[in-house]
Structure 1
Amino acid sequence: MRRWISCMAISLSLLSGTALAADQNTHEAADRWVQTIDQGNFGQSWKDADAGFQANVSEIQWTQTLQQIAAQTGKMLKREFKSEEVKSDLPGAPAGKFKFVVYQTAFEKAPQVTETVVLIETKDGSWKVTGYFLK
């Protein structure tokens, strides 16, 4: 199963003094966001996403898409953090710092799913979801 909701990526700060904080912030932001989806708060996950994400998909479209995915996958049983990957200069993506946070996730009806949350660093230094896909 493959779904691109928004095409973006994420990146970690190049300054060694802020690298650990950036890693923690992005990982925590991704964790909170997927937990919102796990709880069925699809509209809230859209509201918590980056403006670029919101510009690419309406709240109604997002909610409907997640309802369809939930019907196909069932309840989330286990999610294991796998990796974070820094990327930049992505074709079609705005300039910025991006990071991919990857999980191996087991759902009731889909026991082996790679779940990727894509974050972008905002102007205030926080990280927001700008993409999400399942494979």
Structure 2
Amino acid sequence: MPKTLIFIFATLFLTLPSQAYAHTSDAEAAALAWLEAIDSGQYEQAWESSSPLLKNPLSPHMLERTIGAARRDFGTVQSRRRVSVIRETSMPGAPRGDYAILTFQTRFENRPQITETITPHLEEGTWRVSGYYVN
């Protein structure tokens, strides 16, 4: 194999993981910013930065009621640690695209171990939260 071809393959293999990491890093940054808005009670801000996949079925008030009900007895966030990231190109009931499923182990004031799953969706170059689940 010519040296030029080997160099091209080596360059591709070295840059692909860094591009994937950059996408994951950007998706996580969007998820954490959204969670910070939710944690501080800024539901309107969280709703504004959400994906249309989340905004279309929910008004800002419905988002507040839904998440408020799910987290009502938890208290304030004490810590949050990412435990996994899974990349997908499709999600149930959603259009094909680039999704990241981030799972966080979160410690709340009244609940020491809650799993939060948040799903950002890449839309026109910007990661926007399209789903949030707690258990």
TM-score by length of 1: 0.81
- How many Å separate the matches in 2 of 1:21 and 1:91? 25
- How many Å separate the matches in 2 of 1:43 and 1:104? 25
Larger radius of gyration: 2
Q: Which runs of 4+ in 1 moved over 6 A?
A: none
What per-residue deviation string (whole Å, max 9, x for no partner) do you get for residues 6-65 of structure 1?
A: xxxxxxxxx815212111111111111111111111121111101111012121111112
What is the aligned partner in structure 2 of residue 95 from structure 1? 96
Structure with more helix by fraction: 2
- Aligned AA (1:43): E
What is the aligned partner in structure 1 of residue 25 from structure 2? 24
| 2:55 aligned counterpart, secondary structure | helix
Find out whether 1:57 has 2:68 as its counterpart: no
What per-residue deviation string (whole Å, max 9, x for no partner) do you get for residues 108-130 of structure 1?
A: 2221111011010002x111000
| 1:56 aligned counterpart, secondary structure | coil
- How many Å separate the matches in 1 of 2:90 and 2:64? 29
What is the aligned partner in structure 2 of residue 134 from structure 1? 134
Give the count of matched residue pairs. Answer: 120
**RMSD of aligned residue pairs (Cα, Å):** 1.5
What is the aligned partner in structure 2 of residue 79 from structure 1? 80
Shift of 1:91: 3.0
Instruction: Structure 2: give runs of 5+ residues left out of the alignment.
Output: 1-14
Instruction: Structure 1: give runs of 5+ residues left out of the alignment.
Output: 1-14
